[in-house]
């Protein structure tokens, strides 16, 4: 029997055992809102893809831990040259892809070259932009040479878009993902669920969970019902925060509240009047009452932020004081800017409830200081085209969920069109710096610049809301990346 | 009192309550519906707020009143579209029965009926954006074949009557006959069907708002109130019960009214078995 | 007769062509780029262009229309932009949920409506009739998504007799599949049953007033016998028409119900595909639904024409 057949037989037996009992202690059913469109994290931007496959099916050279730190993944160790241009990665021994083939330096070269190729459809191509060359020194050693030093290179390689794939199976990963992770793909019933089984031949610790099933429930009422009826064991990203107190009070369930990398902002179109006037932007900042938005839209779940940075990050600077709730000051600033009677603008809201609900509250708050908003609800596809692409908006609310994405402010073409050379200089310096203290100082400088300029209205950091049955342990409370890492999850005795 | 009158008065009163509330909302509501008052959120019905408050602290009674305006306006206009386009089409099909106009109109009707209505409504709003106007168009389009088919059937049975034949012999054109003789006789049938389509329009608008495609916030609508309420049904059941009751009572009232009207006009209607 | 069939066939084909044009035009003018949706906010222009080329979004619309129609005629419904799998496979999977659900709801609705309608007609004007009429009035006025939530609250959450939604798949057994479809079917069936009961009742009452019934009574049949042996059969014709209409509504109109019960059916597929701008799926599924309804109508018309020559001239 080939390794593959052995693995499949073992998993088939495990599946049958798991399916029989409604709540077998070695199987788990995890529900999320959105179904991934496909299962190749290197070919699509949908977060849902990472939710299912990151660290479960696929792995990269480095990986994120639950606290957001970057640690070894398929690369067990590495050396960085003094000039910061050469990274030598030493790969783990005995790693097999799920089809039984060997994982070695050739596969790493293949994956990185594929991602940075001219015709690559990788959604995060900039992550690989500085790679000048990838070469294989021996079976388990890869040398990556950068064209310029990049302090975030190891961080970048931990992203889902940088996982290692095999040339034989790369083309079919979208429907039949073949990676190196602790779980193997079994089956995808489109529209309903994805089934995984544990990898008996995993190079690390084989997970205690034998089978895992992901289900997709987008409707918040259905999510509540599914949890209450005990149809699912865990719901990650529970969409109805108003129900959480009920779950907390119920001994059958536990509620885990953590933080995400999602900075929710009221974005202002910096190149379009009147938002090109810094006084107007500051007025908007003071017109907003963050806590009211958190209470009203998110039922109290969420942390106020004063700049575009995650509060759980050690380098975070609390600048909420610069944009405190002060409608009087807002009206004064508007008068100073020559708009004593306020003005009218558009507020485009994408589908998530933080935008729709938050938007209603913000519209009311802005009205108090004389700013009238034309609220339009748009779908994501329209938002991408109108707001993100054509920059046809005054205000919009969106949450940026990529980790350490403050560098979007260095791109004057990015949808809110902030153009500040001083900020770009700080970002360039940050890229070139690898020493931790230096990096922290520069990150704080960056946060201060965009807070003082009031580029956008910084609202709150999205909370990670997970509801689970009381016996589940090992779930990540925080979501430093959109992943649901099941490798450490177990059922309590 | 005969059944017809009972239904008409009972149903009419029920529907009238909401129509009056809708009209009143144009000039006055107990509280403003576009403000947000988080401190007072999710209050159960009490002296200050007869129907309680929602998750933003907005007064539910006021929202029901303005919601009535939204639902009724959308439903009425959608019926209007259906009648304005459907009745002439039906008359034309009957007047030139058997000809190509008839064939095209009836095939067109069948085609529209064959389309899944909610999917088309979603597509329309995807193209033109969500909102009350597009909801009216989406619902109105599906009212047209209803009125066209009904008009054609009713008109056809009138065409064979003597007084029409004599008008024909006198040389009047199909158009004149349709407008001067057929149309007035269909009035009662159209009224009855109109009330039924009106009630269906209320349900359709609620359905569209429920999936987020009807009138957009901050304009309240019953369907949106239901959608928002469903996740909070355990902590604040009145949020779902009250708009649900409003929809049910309005639709019920309109249907009773329609049935009552039909019973009253029964002898005349028995001829038109469509 | 042959002439009639040929005429109907020609208008069937014309209807299908018109439908395909309408569908294609409406879906194509929907704003929003599928590639941008799939790659998200950080995509570079060159990546977007590469993806668009891969999906075949570059060609002229006219070429794409003919390609689509030609494919459908051969049974190839195209390849989904989002999922990269053949649309026909996706439809086949979903049909096995939506079709049984529609049939289940139809059967339930008929089982409730027929006895109710017949009972009401037989007790015309008396308490039994009033009771049924009141119940149907209520049934017609209730929004089915609200009713669905009530069902879930009572039967899934409080009593735990059913799961709150989802579909385990037919391979896990016929019984478990039917169980998963029960609450959705009830939510769909009840308003339809209310309508059907009233149609049954009024159709029967019309028949009971007819001359041939009076003749039957004069010949000595009791009221009940007259109803069962003569009125019912004739009353069924408009009822069957309504059932046919309801079936097409149930097949695609279950979008909201499928959303509430998170069923992997055709309705939810279309809804998600519109959101994801997966145009090819939307076009193909809507075309398929329209095709099904038109063909069923055609077959029914033919059946009527065979049975009753008078009906060959459309009334």
pLDDT, average across residues A304-319: 90
Q: Mark which residues 208-247 of B lie under 8 Å from A by CB.
A: 212, 216-218, 230-235
DSSP of B181-237: IIHHHHHHHHHHHHHHHHHHHHHHHHHHHHTT-SSPTTS--HHHHHHHHGGGTTT-T
Residue A14, pLDDT > 50, answer no
Q: Is B106 on the interface with C (CB under 8 A)?
A: yes
Residue B273 neighbours by CB distance under 10 Å: 12
The conformation of residue A471, written as its DSSP 8-state character, comes to: T
Radius of gyration of chain A (CA): 24
Residue A8, pLDDT > 60, answer no
Least confident interval from A283-287, C196-200, C309-313: C309-313
CA distance to partner chain C, nearest, from residue A26 (Å): 19
- Where residue C66 falls among pLDDT bands split at 50, 70, 90? confident
In this predicted structure, what is the pLDDT of residue A179?
A: 92
Cα→Cα distances B102→A316, B91, B105, Å: 73, 10, 5
Both structure tokens of B272 = 């038109």
- Where residue A454 falls among pLDDT bands split at 50, 70, 90? very high
pLDDT tens by residue, A312-324: 888 898 999 888 8
pLDDT, average across residues C78-103: 86
Chain-chain contact of A381 with C149 (C-beta, under 8 angstroms): no
ipTM computed for the complex: 0.78
- Where residue B125 falls among pLDDT bands split at 50, 70, 90? confident
Assess contact for C244 and C102: CB atoms under 8 A.
no
Q: Across the strands, what pairs with C95? A: none
Residue A20, pLDDT > 50, answer no
Chain-chain contact of C282 with B123 (C-beta, under 8 angstroms): yes
pLDDT, average across residues B98-114: 83
Tokens 């909401």 belong to B18
CA pair distance A108, C9, nearest whole angstrom: 61
Residue A385 neighbours by CB distance under 10 Å: 19
CA distance to partner chain C, nearest, from residue A52 (Å): 15
CA-nearest of B131, B145, B142, B143 to B208 is B131
CA pair distance C106, A357, nearest whole angstrom: 38
Residue A153, pLDDT > 60, answer yes
Q: Which residues in chain B have Cβ-Cβ distances shorter than 8 Å to A361? A: 36, 38, 56
Q: Is B36 on the interface with A (CB under 8 A)?
A: yes
In this predicted structure, what is the pLDDT of residue C315?
A: 41
The conformation of residue A54, written as its DSSP 8-state character, comes to: B
- SS3 assignment for chain C: CHHHHHHHHHHHHHHHHHHHHHHHHHHHCCCCCHHHHHHCCCCCHHHHHHHHHHHCCCCCHHHHHHHHHHHHHCCCCCECCCCCCEHHHHHHHHHHHHHHHHHHHHHHHHHHHHHHHHHHHHCCCCHHHHHHHHHHHHHHHCCHHHHHHHHHHHHHHHCCCCCCCCCCCHHHCHHHHHHHHHHHHHHHHHHHHHHHHHHHHHHHHHHHCCHHHHHHHHCCCCHHHHHHHHHHHHHHHHHHHHHHHHHHHHHHHCHHHHHHCCCCCHHHHHHHHHHCCCHHHHHHHHHHHHHHHHHHHHHHHHHHHHHCHHHHCCC
Both structure tokens of C300 = 């029914």
pLDDT, average across residues C240-253: 71
Residue B104 neighbours by CB distance under 10 Å: 15
Q: Which residues in chain A have Cβ-Cβ distances shorter than 8 Å to B212? A: 351, 377
Residue A10, pLDDT > 70, answer no
In this predicted structure, what is the pLDDT of residue A1?
A: 44
pLDDT tens by residue, A231-282: 899 999 998 888 898 899 889 999 999 989 899 999 999 998 889 999 999 9
Assess contact for A290 and A320: CB atoms under 8 A.
yes
In this predicted structure, what is the pLDDT of residue B133?
A: 86
Least confident interval from A183-192, A328-337, A423-432, C217-226: C217-226
| Mean of all residue pLDDT scores within chain C | 81
Chain-chain contact of C165 with A225 (C-beta, under 8 angstroms): yes
Q: Which residues in chain A have Cβ-Cβ distances shorter than 8 Å to C160? A: 229-230
CA pair distance A224, A227, nearest whole angstrom: 5
CA-nearest of A100, B126, A424 to A432 is A424
Q: Whole-model pTM?
A: 0.80
Chain-chain contact of A242 with B217 (C-beta, under 8 angstroms): no
Q: What are phi and psi of C126, to 5 degrees?
A: -100, 180
Assess contact for B199 and B254: CB atoms under 8 A.
yes
Chain-chain contact of A378 with B232 (C-beta, under 8 angstroms): no
Residue A442, pLDDT > 50, answer yes
Q: Strands A343-349 and A472-473, how do they pair?
A: unpaired
CA pair distance A305, A462, nearest whole angstrom: 10
Residue A296, pLDDT > 80, answer yes
CA-nearest of C82, C31, C275 to A389 is C31
Chain C positions contacting chain B at CB under 8 Å are: 11, 14-15, 18-19, 26-27, 29-32, 137-138, 140-143, 145-146, 149, 153, 206, 245, 248-249, 251-253, 255-256, 259, 267, 270-271, 274, 282, 286, 289-290, 293-294, 297, 313-315
Residue B28, pLDDT > 80, answer yes
Q: Which residues in chain A have Cβ-Cβ distances shorter than 8 Å to C172? A: 19
Q: Which residues in chain C have Cβ-Cβ distances shorter than 8 Å to B273? A: 206
Query: What residues contact B143, with CB distance under 8 A and at least 6 apart?
Result: B78, B79, B81, B82, B83, B86, B197, B201
Q: What are phi and psi of A319, to 5 degrees?
A: -110, 20
Chain-chain contact of B226 with C145 (C-beta, under 8 angstroms): yes
Residue C242 neighbours by CB distance under 10 Å: 17
Residue C209, pLDDT > 80, answer no
Chain-chain contact of B230 with C31 (C-beta, under 8 angstroms): no
Higher pLDDT pick, C249 / A206:
A206
CA-nearest of C98, C91, C51 to C72 is C91
CA-nearest of C137, C135, C131, C115 to C201 is C115
């Amino acid at each position: 029997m080939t390794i593959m057949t052995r693995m499949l037989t073992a998993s088939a037996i495990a599946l049958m055992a798991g399916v029989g009992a409604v709540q077998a202690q070695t199987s788990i059913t995890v529900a999320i809102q959105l179904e991934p469109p496909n299962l190749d994290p290197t070919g699509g931007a949908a977060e849902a893809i990472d939710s299912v496959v990151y660290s479960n099916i696929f792995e990269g050279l480095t990986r994120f831990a639950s606290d957001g730190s970057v640690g070894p993944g398929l690369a067990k160790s590495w050396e960085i040259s003094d000039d910061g241009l050469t990274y030598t990665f030493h790969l783990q021994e005995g790693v097999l892809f799920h089809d039984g083939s060997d994982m070695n330096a050739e596969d790493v070269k293949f994956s990185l070259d594929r991602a940075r190729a001219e015709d690559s459809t990788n959604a995060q191509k900039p992550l690989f932009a500085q790679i000048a060359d990838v070469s294989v020194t021996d079976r388990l050693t890869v040398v990556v040479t950068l064209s310029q030093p990049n302090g975030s290179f190891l961080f970048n390689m931990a992203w889902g878009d940088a996982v290692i794939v095999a040339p034989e199976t790369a083309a079919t990963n979208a429907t039949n993902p073949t990676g190196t992770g602790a779980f193997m793909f079994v089956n995808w019933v489109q529209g309903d669920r994805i089934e995984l089984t544990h990898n008996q031949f995993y190079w690390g610790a084989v997970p205690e969970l034998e089978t895992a099933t992901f289900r997709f429930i987008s409707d918040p009422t259905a999510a509540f019902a599914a949890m209450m009826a005990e149809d699912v064991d865990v719901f990650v990203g529970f969409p109805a925060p108003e129900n959480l107190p009920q779950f907390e009070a119920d001994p059958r369930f536990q509620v885990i509240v953590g933080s995400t990398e999602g900075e929710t902002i009221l974005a202002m179109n910096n190149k379009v009047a009147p938002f090109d006037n810094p006084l107007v932007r500051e007025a908007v900042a003071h017109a907003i009452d963050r806590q009211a938005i958190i209470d009203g839209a998110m039922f109290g779940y969420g942390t106020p932020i004063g700049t575009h940075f995650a509060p759980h990050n050690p380098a975070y600077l609390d600048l909420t004081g610069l944009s405190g709730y002060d409608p009087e000051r807002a009206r004064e600033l508007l008068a100073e800017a020559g708009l004593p009677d306020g003005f009218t603008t558009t507020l485009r809201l994408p589908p998530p409830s933080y935008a729709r609900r938050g938007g209603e509250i913000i519209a009311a708050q802005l009205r108090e200081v004389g700013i009238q908003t034309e609220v339009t609800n748009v779908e994501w596809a329209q938002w991408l085209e109108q707001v993100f692409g054509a920059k046809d908006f005054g205000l919009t609310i969106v949450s940026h969920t990529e980790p350490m994405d403050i560098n979007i402010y260095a791109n004057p073409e990015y949808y809110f069109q902030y153009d500040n050379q001083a900020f770009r200089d700080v970002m360039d310096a940050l890229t070139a710096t690898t020493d931790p203290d230096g990096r922290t100082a520069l990150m704080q400088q960056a946060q201060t610049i965009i807070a003082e300029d009031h580029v956008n209205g910084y609202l709150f950091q999205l909370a990670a809301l997970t509801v689970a049955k009381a016996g589940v342990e090992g779930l990540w409370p925080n979501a430093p990346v959109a992943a649901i890492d099941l490798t450490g999850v177990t059922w309590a005795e | 009192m005969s059944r017809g009158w009972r239904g008409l008065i009972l149903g009419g009163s029920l529907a009238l309550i909401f129509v009056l509330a809708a009209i009143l909302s144009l000039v006055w509501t107990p509280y403003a519906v576009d403000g947000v008052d988080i401190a007072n959120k999710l209050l159960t019905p009490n002296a200050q707020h007869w129907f309680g408050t929602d998750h933003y602290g907005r007064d539910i009674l006021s929202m029901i009143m303005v919601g009535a305006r939204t639902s009724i306006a959308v439903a009425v206009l959608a019926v209007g579209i259906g009648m304005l386009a459907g009745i002439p089409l039906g008359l034309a099909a009957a007047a030139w029965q058997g000809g190509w106009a008839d064939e095209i109109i009836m095939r067109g009707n069948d085609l529209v009926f064959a389309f899944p209505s909610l999917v088309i409504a979603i597509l329309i709003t995807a193209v033109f954006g969500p909102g009350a106007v597009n909801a009216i168009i989406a619902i109105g389009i599906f009212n047209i074949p209803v009125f066209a088919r009904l008009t054609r059937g009713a008109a056809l049975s009138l065409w064979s009557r003597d007084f029409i034949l004599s008008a024909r012999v006198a040389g009047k054109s199909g158009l004149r006959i349709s407008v001067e003789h057929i149309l007035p006789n269909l009035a009662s049938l159209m009224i009855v069907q109109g009330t039924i389509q009106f009630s269906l329009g209320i349900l359709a608008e609620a359905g569209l708002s429920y999936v987020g495609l009807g009138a957009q916030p901050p304009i309240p609508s019953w369907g949106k109130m239901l959608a928002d309420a469903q996740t909070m049904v355990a902590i604040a059941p009145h949020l779902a019960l009250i708009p649900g009751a409003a929809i049910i009572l309005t639709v019920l009232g309109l249907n009773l009214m329609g049935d009552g009207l039909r019973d009253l006009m029964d002898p005349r209607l028995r001829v038109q078995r469509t | 007769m042959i002439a009639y069939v040929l005429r109907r066939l020609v208008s069937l084909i014309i209807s299908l062509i018109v439908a395909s044009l309408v569908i294609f035009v409406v879906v194509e003018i929907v704003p929003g780029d599928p590639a941008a949706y799939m790659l998200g906010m950080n995509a570079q222009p060159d990546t977007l262009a590469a993806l668009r080329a891969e999906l075949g979004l570059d060609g002229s619309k006219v070429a794409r229309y003919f390609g689509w129609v030609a494919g459908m005629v051969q049974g190839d419904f195209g390849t989904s932009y989002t999922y990269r799998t053949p649309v026909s496979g996706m439809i086949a999977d979903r049909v096995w949920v939506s079709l049984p659900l529609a049939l289940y709801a139809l059967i339930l609705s008929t089982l409730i409506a027929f006895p109710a309608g017949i009972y009401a007609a037989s007790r015309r004007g008396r308490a039994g009739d009033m009771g049924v009429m009141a119940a149907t009035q209520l049934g017609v006025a209730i929004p089915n998504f609200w009713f669905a939530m009530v069902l879930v609250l009572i039967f899934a959450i409080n009593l735990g007799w059913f799961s709150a939604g989802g579909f385990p798949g037919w391979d896990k057994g016929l019984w478990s599949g039917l169980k998963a479809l029960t609450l959705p079917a009830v939510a769909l069936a009840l308003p339809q049953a209310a309508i059907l009961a009233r149609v049954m009742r009024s159709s029967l009452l019309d028949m009971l007033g007819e001359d041939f019934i009076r003749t039957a009574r004069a010949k000595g049949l009791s009221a009940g016998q007259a109803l069962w042996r003569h009125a019912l059969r004739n009353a069924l014709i408009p009822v069957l028409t309504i059932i046919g209409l309801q079936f097409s509504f149930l097949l695609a109109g279950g979008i909201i119900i499928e959303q509430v019960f998170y069923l992997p059916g055709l309705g939810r597929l279309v809804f998600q595909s519109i959101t994801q701008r997966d145009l090819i799926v939307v076009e193909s599924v809507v075309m398929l639904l329209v095709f099904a309804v038109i063909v069923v109508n055609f077959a029914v018309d033919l059946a009527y024409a065979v049975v009753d020559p008078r009906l060959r001239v459309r009334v």
